[in-house]
Amino acid sequence: MLPIVKGLLAGERRALARAISIVDNDEPESREIIRQIFSKIGGARTVGFTGPGGAGKSSLVGRLIPECQALGYRVAVLAVDPTSPLTGGAILGDRVRMQGNLDDEKVFMRSMASRGAVGGVSKSLRNAIRILDAAGYNLVLVESVGAGQLEIEISKVVDITAVLFTPHTGDNVQAVKAGLTEIGDMYIINKSDLEGAGALYNTIVDLIGDTDRKPVVLKASAKTGKGVRELAKSIDKLLKEKSINYKERERRMLENELRDMVLNTVEKKASQMLAGSKKYSEFVDKLTRKEIDPYAAAEELAAGLFR
Amino acid sequence: MLPIVKGLLAGERRALARAISIVDNDEPESREIIRQIFSKIGGARTVGFTGPGGAGKSSLVGRLIPECQALGYRVAVLAVDPTSPLTGGAILGDRVRMQGNLDDEKVFMRSMASRGAVGGVSKSLRNAIRILDAAGYNLVLVESVGAGQLEIEISKVVDITAVLFTPHTGDNVQAVKAGLTEIGDMYIINKSDLEGAGALYNTIVDLIGDTDRKPVVLKASAKTGKGVRELAKSIDKLLKEKSINYKERERRMLENELRDMVLNTVEKKASQMLAGSKKYSEFVDKLTRKEIDPYAAAEELAAGLFR
């Protein structure tokens, strides 16, 4: 067994942090770490928090931690930031603002770098959750910056997706209409102490009223703490209710993961084969002379790669 | 020849708009359109405009159009928006604000939807540029909303990349440091009428001073029009200077495009093969029973697909 795996199974925070960095950066050791812990896991439940920037995800998650601990969970937090050169690192700043939780030995918090490809985020996240699971955390709260495609992807990796809104972010209602209604198991009106919270609550209840899933709609305020205990209880209840479907859910998740990984491997391999291919550079020549079009060239080359 | 190709070669705007929609949505007809025009193109030059939101790209491009026309170019504009459910359609609103240009018969403007994958944007963009080229536009201005990965991708598709900054967007300098210095052939301090423009100009000159490429740094104001003619002239000069390398550049672009397309085709094919594969579902079963780990399963499955 790798020393790092021994360490994280023993609950050493440094080993845990390092292991997550390794999977997040897709370092070669990832594979062996996951292989060694894979048979030891399966207990952790996961909740994703998503929503527009400024919806107060970090503060709410900060408040939620002790409430979930009070319900008996060992809590870890992963913050996913679809890092661009322009916003990189912003989320780490938020972390620091979370009141004192970073010093709490019972909670583990991490920002995931996950630069670049959207598909890369799922992979990092799944494996980070496995590592936390192996280290004995049984509730992982995943926080993401609202960014379209990414939210949908994260919702496929977690057990429960909570979508946050606040009365004062302008385009709330459009956002709900535009697709977030499909991914939420819970809708949270955060900053419920602000004016307009009641109206927003009603709007959201109306908008999702037509769906079969009957998601939970709740009001909470990270500032005053109101509604946070109820939120924790509601999450606990949902996780327990949903438990009947975990086997089915897990199978579907593993199916998606395996598919992603196979496609990734295939792509890497095809890329290597191309790099050394004489035919490839001949086709590029033909393209520059306009003797063939890109579609025809791509098809011929791709056909040559498969069994 | 497809009627739509006949139409766009004859300069019919409706055929042109429809053809761009077809490639943007990756409809089946794309292939035939590109095949029929591919041997007829190669004259259009392209300039990408990128930078943080609020840097005034649309306004500046709007001002630039008549100046480029005055230099003899037939100008088209493509606006790329990395659409998320939360921001979708915003850029079309910007379009409408561009003063009167939409009615100008000599200029063609289009927003590209390009939802989802980053790689999809390059493909749409390359083919939209080809269509505009075939329709007789010899200068395509490509505008994109600053979004990290996307900017880098667009910079690989265009001949010249212009990065815009303004004195009042807070994190300008960090942004420059964080990677934009690598993609710009030009740096434009827009809104140069505002306070701090001079200081920002100096900072940027300092920051990029160390690079070999010696990019152009310019001040301009879309509001007053100051510096816009100089910008147009500078673009014209750069395009003409660079022309000695166009062959090499084009080859590299075609190489990238062919690679992307092959990998795409390979991925689609692998995905289809998996969907019908008994082995795939057997491996998923094994995963749920934890008899194999995801890495090992993916590798075995992928190996089975190649020659």
Decide if B254 and A301 are in contact by the 8 Å CB cutoff: no
When comparing pLDDT for A26 and A294, which is higher? A294
Cβ contacts of A266 on chain B, cutoff 8 Å? 266-267, 270, 302, 305-306
Measured between CB atoms, which of A257, A270, A297 is closest to B263? A270
Question: Bridge partners of B130?
Answer: none
Facing B250 at nearest CB: one of A38, A265, A288:
A288
Same-domain pairing of B121 and B267: no
pLDDT of residue B114: 58
Q: Which of A29-33, A264-268, B180-184 has the lowest mean pLDDT?
A: B180-184
Q: Which residues of B touch A113 (CB under 8 A)?
A: none
Residue B30 lies in a domain: no
Q: What is the CATH number of the domain that holds A73?
A: 3.40.50.300
Cβ separation B117–A118 shorter than 8 A: yes
DSSP line for B49-104? EE-STTS-HHHHHHHHHHHHHHTT--EEEEEE----TTTTTHHHHHHHHSTTGGG-
Could you tell me if A178 and A262 lie in one domain? no
More reliable by pLDDT, A224 or B105: A224
**Which one of B31, B33, B84 would you mutate to disrupt binding with A, by most A Cβ within 10 Å of its Cβ?**
B84
Residue B278 tokens read as 């008994």
| pLDDT for B100 | 42
Residue B130 has pLDDT above 50, yes or no: yes
List pLDDT tens digits, range B134-144: 999 999 999 98
- Which chain A residue is nearest to residue B145, measuring alpha carbons? A86
**Pair A214, A289 in one domain:** no
What pLDDT was estimated at residue B200? 84
Q: Does residue B78 sit in the same domain as residue B193?
A: yes
Which of B251, B294, B305 has the CB atom closest to A257's CB atom? B294
CA distance A105 to chain B (A): 31
Same domain, A237 and A289: no
User: For testing the chain A interface, which of B252, B266, B273, B293 should be mutated: the one with the most A CBs within 10 Å?
Assistant: B266
Closest of A77, A73, A129, A68 to residue A98, by C-alpha: A77
Residue B32 belongs to some domain of the structure: no
Q: What is the pLDDT of residue B96?
A: 39
pLDDT for B75: 95
Residues A172 and A297 in one domain: no
Contacts of B30 in chain A (CB under 8 A): 295
Question: What's the structural domain count of chain B?
Answer: 2
User: In this predicted structure, what is the pLDDT of residue A136?
Assistant: 94
Residue with more model confidence, A115 or B284: B284
The band of A306, judged by pLDDT with boundaries at 50, 70 and 90, is: low
**Residue B174 — very low, low, confident or very high, per pLDDT cuts 50/70/90?**
low
Quick one: which of A181, A198, A180 has its CA closest to A189?
Answer: A198
Residue A139 sits in the same domain as residue A230: yes
Nearest chain B Cα distance for residue A300, angstroms: 9
Model confidence pLDDT, tens digit, residues A280-291: 999 999 999 999
Determine how many CB atoms are found less than 10 A away from the CB of residue B175. 23
Distances from the Cα of A65 to the Cαs of A60, A100, A101, A219, in angstroms?
9, 11, 8, 17
Interface size between A and B, measured as CB pairs under 8 A: 181
- Higher local confidence (pLDDT), B182 or A299: A299
A292 pLDDT band, cuts 50/70/90, is: very high
> Are B177 and B273 members of one domain?
no
Does position A94 have pLDDT exceeding 70, yes or no?
no
Q: State the DSSP H helix or E strand holding residue A50, giving kind and residue range, or none if neither.
A: strand A45-50
Identify whether residues A59 and A195 lie together within a single domain: yes
Phi, psi at residue A192, to the nearest 5°?
Answer: -70, -10
Q: Is residue B16 part of a domain?
A: no
Whole-angstrom distance, CA of residue A109 vs CA of residue A118: 22
> What's the whole-number average pLDDT of chain B?
82
User: For residue B212, what are the CA distances in angstroms to B183, B185, B202, B241?
Assistant: 13, 11, 18, 16
Residue B128: predicted pLDDT = 94
Of B178, B284, B295, the CB nearest to A255: B284
Judgement on whether residues B162 and B76 belong to the same structural domain of the protein:
yes
In whole angstroms, what is the distance from residue A152 CA to residue A256 CA? 14
Alpha-carbon separation of residue A225 from A3, A61, A190, B192 (angstroms): 41, 11, 10, 46
Based on the fold, state whether residues A197 and A294 are members of the same structural domain. Answer: no
For residue A276, being part of any structural domain is answered with yes
Q: Nearest chain B Cα to A284, which residue?
A: B255
Q: A91 lies in which domain range?
A: 41-245
Closest residue of chain A to B172, computed from CA coordinates: A86
pLDDT classification of B180: cutoffs 50, 70, 90: low
Question: Is B2 inside a domain boundary?
Answer: no
Same domain, A57 and A195: yes
Distance of CA B96 to the CA centre of its chain: 20
The mean pLDDT value for B53-80 works out to 90
- What is d(CA A132, CA A128) in angstroms, rounded to the nearest whole number? 6
DSSP string, B214-254: --EEEE--TTT-TTHHHHHHHHHHHHHHHGGGHHHHHHHHH
Instruction: Using CB atoms, pick whichever of A250, A267, A273 lies closest to residue B267.
Output: A267
Verify whether the Cβ–Cβ distance B271 to A263 is below 8 Å: yes
Confirm if A119 and A56 have CB atoms less than 8 A apart. no
B116 domain-assigned: yes
Out of B196, B213, B245, pick the residue that ends a domain. B245
Do the beta carbons of residue B304 and residue A274 sit within 8 Å?
no
Q: Inform me whether the pLDDT recorded for B66 exceeds 90.
A: yes
pLDDT per residue over B229-268, tens digit each? Answer: 999 999 999 998 865 577 888 888 899 899 988 988 888 8
Q: Are the Cβ atoms of B270 and A266 closer than 8 angstroms?
A: yes
Contacts B148 to A, Cβ<8 Å: 83-87
Name the residue among B39, B284, B305 with its Cβ closest to that of A251: B284
Going by pLDDT thresholds of 50, 70 and 90, the confidence category of residue A86 is very low
Per-residue pLDDT averaged across B50-77, rounded? 90
Q: Nearest 10 degrees: CA dihedral of A292, A297, A300, A302? A: 180
CB contact under 8 A, A180 and B38: no
Lowest mean pLDDT among A28-37, B75-84, B176-185: B176-185
Contact A99, A54 (CB under 8 A): no
Predicted pLDDT at B169: 61
pLDDT digits (tens, 9 = 90+) for B152-164: 788 888 999 998 8
Q: Is residue B8 part of a domain?
A: no
Please indicate, yes or no, if residue B250 is contained in any of the structural domains: no
